[in-house]
Copies of this chain bind each other. A is one copy, B any other.
Amino acid sequence: MEIKHDIFPSERIIAYSDAIFAIALTLLMLEIKIPESGPTEKNDLFRSLLLNWPSYISFLISFLIISVIWFNHHTMFHYIRYVNHPLMLINTLLMLNVVVIPFCAALLGRYAAEGNRNSMIASLVYGSWITLGGIPFNWLWGYALKHDNLLAEGIMKKELFNIKRHFIRGPFLYLQCTLLALINSWASICGFTVLIILYFLPASLWAKKGCIT
C-alpha cells in the first residue's frame, strides 16, 4: 500500500473521538455530588436525593445530547474513510464543543431550579453552547461532501445530501429551545427534552424503514 502524505486513514481519529465522547459522557455523572448528611439533617437522604432533581434532568438531557452527537458522528464516519488536516481541525472544534458540555450541564443542574435570573442565564449558556455545536458539526459534513477523496468509494451521493439536510435542521431547532429560556428556563429545558426524545425515537423508527438517521 502506498503511503499518502496529505490524507490519513480515519481509524485513529475515530478512536480518539470515541474516547473523548466516552469520557465526556462519564464526567457528566461526576458533576452530581452525593448529599452530605450533616448532624442536624438525620434521616433525610431520600429528600436530599429528590431535591437534587434538576441535576438528574440536566444529566439525562446532556447524556442523550452527547449520545445523539456520537450517533451522528458514527454515521458521518461510516462514509468518511480518510481525513486530511482541515477535517482534523474541524473535528477538533467539534470535540471542543463536546468536552465543555459537562461544564454546561453542571451549571444548568446547579441553577435551573432557582427560578430567578440565574436560571435564565444557566439555560441560555447551556442552550447556546449546544446550538453552537451545530457549526463544527455541519461544517465537518459539508467539508467531507465536497472532498470525494475522503469518502468511501461507491456510495450514492444523494443519500449523503439527505443526511446533510437532516443535520442542518438540528442547530435551528436547538436555537429555538435556547430562546425559550428568555421566557422561562423550564420551557427551554422541556423543549430540549422533547427535542432529544423526538431525535432518538424516530432515528430508530426510520432505521427500521431502511432510511438513515
Interface residues of A (CB under 8 A from B): 2-3, 5-6, 8, 12-16, 18-30, 32, 34, 37, 42-43, 45-46, 49, 63-64, 67, 70-71, 74, 77-79, 84-86, 88-89, 92, 95-96, 99-100, 102-103, 106-107, 110-111, 114, 116-118, 121-122, 125, 152, 154-155, 159, 200, 203-204, 206-208, 210-213
Chain B residue with Cβ nearest A88 = B71
Q: A85-B204, A210-B5 in contact; A26/B25 too (CB < 8 A)?
A: no
Asked if A43 contacts B12 (CB within 8 A), the reply is no
- Which of A23, A64, A122 has the most C-beta atoms of chain B within 10 angstroms of its own C-beta? A23
- Partner of A19 from the list B19, B114, B204 (CB cut-off 8 Å) is B19
Chain B residues lying within 8 Å of A29, measured Cβ to Cβ, are 27, 99-100, 102-103
Chain B residues lying within 8 Å of A99, measured Cβ to Cβ, are 25-26, 28-29, 63
Chain B residues lying within 8 Å of A6, measured Cβ to Cβ, are 207, 210-212
Asked if A207 contacts B84 (CB within 8 A), the reply is yes
- Which of A3, A18, A26, A102 has the most C-beta atoms of chain B within 10 angstroms of its own C-beta? A26
Asked if A116 contacts B42 (CB within 8 A), the reply is yes
Chain B residues lying within 8 Å of A30, measured Cβ to Cβ, are 27, 30, 102
Chain B residues lying within 8 Å of A23, measured Cβ to Cβ, are 19, 22-23, 26
